[in-house]
Amino acid sequence: MARKLLAVGLLDPAALELPEEYRYLPPERIEWSRIRRQVNRLSMRDLTAAIIPALHDHQGKVIIAVDDMTRLTPTLIAFWLAVFEVAQVIGCASQKKANVFKLWWKMTEIEIPPLTPEATCDIVQAYIVRQGMLIESPGLFVGHVVKQSGGNPQAIADMLDDSAKERLVDKRKIREMRHAAGVGYVDFIPVMIIALASVVGARYLAIGTVDTELYIFAGMLAAVVISI
């Protein structure tokens, strides 16, 4: 975050304890690779002391986008609570962890539906052209990414990034592409509840009618259901 704020000129190099030579350089000329170690050595308290005042003093509201707020440490939660007071934050999370509830209370939840197959196709085709990828069967590749991603933008990005590393994406590699977003699960809980209820009912019926065979069968069926 400090890198982005520094690049757009919102953060003064002096606040990050950088050498004086950087204080007179235009933001676009500051090379992050040369200062990364020094910035990373700063404590969270020092970074907060540099970032929060810079956001507060900026004319106009700053919008900050966070790609994943699912797992945050207590220190980071406190940091983002401070950021909420001086900036507009847009964040994503795969699930709402209980330890981050203080942040969720301050945010408005917006459900984001999966991308349509048409939109996914457009993204994949544009990426292929931009990266100059060599693909044996482009149609098969696009269709496979659409199916495996399930419209999840992160899944699309993961599959495209992995494929772009290949010199040639042949049909075998296309078929081997997998992503968890494209895996479907069937909820068997209702079926299990009905099966257990049937077993219990059968056992009571066997007891009431003194039917030994039905009682034994119900016991065997119960063992099978429980083992599943």
Q: What is the pTM of this model?
A: 0.56
Residues in the chain predicted with pLDDT less than 70, given as ranges, are 180-189, 191-192, 199, 202-206, 214-215, 217-228
CA distance 150 to 168: 24
pLDDT at 38: 85
Given a contact cutoff of 8 angstroms between Cβ atoms, the answer to whether 171 and 136 are in contact is yes
Residue with tokens 């956001």: 55
Q: Check residue 225 and give its pLDDT.
A: 59
d(CA 12, CA 27): 9
How many alpha carbons fall within 13 Å on the CB side of residue 75?
6
Burial of residue 169 (number of CB atoms within 10 Å: 0-12, 13-18, 19+): buried
Give the Cα separation of 77 and 150 in Å (integer): 31
Q: Residue 227: its pLDDT value, please? A: 62
Q: Count the helix, strand and coil residues of the chain and give each as a percent rounded to the nearest 5.
A: 65, 5, 30
Per-residue pLDDT at 30: 84
HSE-CB for 175 with a 13 A CA cutoff: 3
Token duo for residue 129: 């052209």
CA distances from 38 to 12, 21, 22, 196, 212 (A): 15, 14, 13, 62, 79
Strand segments (E) across the chain: 62-66, 87-91
What pLDDT is stored for residue 117 in this prediction? 94
